[in-house]
């Protein structure tokens, strides 16, 4: 009789799902491939039919996370149209929402040490998410003369960093930290101060 798991309908995805649960509980380096296999209901040897090692498995989880993330960011951007400011702020809120809804993916993407350049596909999906922020930043600066516009890559990088900081400090329930205000309010007010300082939105907006 064949061992359990050898006729698994979608073994690779079952292993990714198992890894995501383990990442949430133990972190990206706190579990073994054997644990992922056990969680998925297959033998440890079966894992190597799809993944070369734990990093390969985590990289697949990160890739799937970036796909979800990029789609969520694009949806958020479109939800704010035709207002450039509303679209920009919506992408920030989407960042927080993603971190809350997909903690395993979030950790695999940003805290596992897996480089986005590990594979061309991973790099492409990562870039697709970042390009949504660049698009939003470009739309905000259209009213400024070209020679005075801040580079959209700089603006989007700053907002990405601000969003990441709010998530890490206040939105993920880190021990010993408590947000003085709701994370969404912290991020929205921070974005407002930043954009006003660059002259991208009027002072009274």
pLDDT tens per residue across span 5-52: 444 558 899 999 999 999 999 998 899 889 999 998 888 888 888 898
Same domain, 78 and 133: yes
pLDDT at 205: 59
pLDDT at 9: 57
Is 128 within the bounds of a domain?
A: yes
pLDDT at 2: 35
pTM comes to: 0.85
Which range of residues forms the domain containing residue 155?
A: 59-198
Provide the percentage of residues in the chain whose pLDDT is more than 70: 91
Farthest CA pair distance, the chain: 73
For residues 159 and 123, what is the distance between their CA atoms, to the nearest angstrom?
20
pLDDT above 90 for 68: yes
Quick: pLDDT tens for 131-159. 998 999 898 888 888 888 889 999 999 99
Confidence category of residue 204, pLDDT binned at 50, 70, 90: low
C-alpha closest to that of 44 among 3, 104, 13, 2: 3
Helix (H) or strand (E) holding 198: helix 183-198
pLDDT at 48: 86
Q: What does the chain come to in residues?
A: 205
Same domain, 84 and 43: no
Instruction: Give the number of other Cβ atoms within 10 Å of residue 82's Cβ.
Output: 7
Number of domains composing the chain: 2
For residues 8 and 41, what is the distance between their CA atoms, to the nearest angstrom?
9
**HSE-up of 108 (CA within 13 Å, CB side)?**
35
Same domain, 70 and 6: no
Distance from first CA to last CA of the chain, Å, rounded?
69
C-alpha closest to that of 96 among 118, 122, 72: 72
Same domain, 79 and 16: no
For residues 100 and 197, what is the distance between their CA atoms, to the nearest angstrom?
29
Torsion angle of the four alpha carbons 138, 139, 145, 148, in this order, in degrees rounded to the nearest 10: -40
Same domain, 12 and 75: no
């Amino acid at each position: 009789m064949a061992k359990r798991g050898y006729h698994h309908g979608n073994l690779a995805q079952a292993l990714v799902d198992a890894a995501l649960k383990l990442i949430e509980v133990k972190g990206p380096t706190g579990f073994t491939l054997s644990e992922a296999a056990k969680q998925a209901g297959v033998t440890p040897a079966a894992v190597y039919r799809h993944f070369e090692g734990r990093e390969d498995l985590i990289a697949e989880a990160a890739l799937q996370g970036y796909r979800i993330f990029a789609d969520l960011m694009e949806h958020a951007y479109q939800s704010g149209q035709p207002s450039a400011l509303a679209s920009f702020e919506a992408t920030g809120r989407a960042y927080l929402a993603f971190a809350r809804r997909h903690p395993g993916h979030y950790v695999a993407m940003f805290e596992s040490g897996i480089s986005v350049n590990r594979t061309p596909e991973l790099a492409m999906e990562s870039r697709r998410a970042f390009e949504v922020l660049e698009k939003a930043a470009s739309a905000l600066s259209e009213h400024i003369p070209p020679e005075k516009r801040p580079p959209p890559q700089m603006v989007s990088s700053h907002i990405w960093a601000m969003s990441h900081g709010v998530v890490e400090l206040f939105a993920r329930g880190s021990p010993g930290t408590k947000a003085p205000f709701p994370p969404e309010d912290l991020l929205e007010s921070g974005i407002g101060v930043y954009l006003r300082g660059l002259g991208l939105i009027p002072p009274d907006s």
